[in-house]
Amino acid sequence: MAVTAGGIGDSRRVEGLGLADTARHAWAALLLGWRVESNWADPVLFAIYTVIRPVSSMLLLTMMVAIVGGSADASSRTFVILGSALWAMLVSGLAGPAWSVLEDRERYRTLKYLYTSGATLLVLLVGRGGSRLLIGAMGSLVAILVAVALLGLRIDPAAVDWPLLLAAMLLGLPPVLALGIGLAAVCLQTRQESWNYPDAFSGAMFLVSGVVFPLAVLPRPLEALGLLNPVTWWVAGVRRAIIPGGPSSIGGAGSLWTAVTGTDAPGPAVILGALFLTGAVTTLVATALFRGSERRARDQGLLDRTTGS
């Protein structure tokens, strides 16, 4: 029923939220995020954040590999290009919910109105994070196209494992958003300096996700941490789907994976299974963390705190 229906005291007005309400809230948050974050009104800003930044990062890393690696073969270059292109999407997904908390609270001063609107804050942040993820995906796509045009990246559409790519995306994006929700939980408790947290956290994730180098080069504890990280499996799944038979970030000589399983690299089924498991655990932990943070924020009066931005 419509939210405004019923007179004063009509109990129908206070019925619980249904699935349709939750979907509406998420969709509106996605639209809001798209309108606010995409900076359509300022094409230069949009280009910088969405296109130039990821493309520059990718070019930088590729050049570094070419210079440092010297004789690095085409497959190593492809490994780096795909990893760094995906990174734009990952960073957007990680940062989206956290920046939404900070922007809505500090800059737009709307967080208190959103929080008391009847919509669930978690759903709103997933919607806002989703819009950033979409924008990040655009950056990733552009970066890959640039790599095809300028860096000689070869992707054979006929050879792409489309089902694996779809499955990796479906299973991989929720935990990416969940990590962003976890970061938002932290930002809900902190102040303005937390604008830097998403970048700092992304930097740390860069190390343990097998994005530009195999996990095997890391010390064993970090390598183990990387194997528990759903982003590692997501990146590995997407790589494997786009360039079947290409180098893997997970296995290989001297790797923890090979030492434990005796196999050179995980196959598609193992990748998806590990992605599902690590993703589910990450999502549950992030949701619990956010619920606790939300409760504490309400207790401490942090939901409408502004610190002078």
Residues that bind another protein (CB under 8 A): 2-4, 6-11, 13-14, 16-17, 21, 24-25, 27-29, 31-32, 35-36, 39, 41, 99, 102, 106-110, 112-119, 124, 191-193, 195-196, 198-199, 298-301, 303-305, 307-309
Q: Which two tokens stand for residue 229?
A: 């990280």
Nearer to another protein, 3 or 253 (CB): 3
Q: Which residue has the tokens 């993820």?
A: 133
- With 0-12 CB in 10 A as exposed, 13-18 as middle and 19+ as buried, what is 245? exposed
From residue 70, give the alpha-carbon distance in Å to each of 59, 64, 65, 74, 147.
16, 9, 7, 11, 19
- CB of 123: closest distance to another protein in angstroms? 10
- CB of 257: closest distance to another protein in angstroms? 36
- CB of 194: closest distance to another protein in angstroms? 10
- CB of 128: closest distance to another protein in angstroms? 11
Nearer to another protein, 192 or 287 (CB): 192
Nearer to another protein, 11 or 71 (CB): 11
Nearer to another protein, 245 or 308 (CB): 308
- CB of 112: closest distance to another protein in angstroms? 6
Nearer to another protein, 18 or 244 (CB): 18
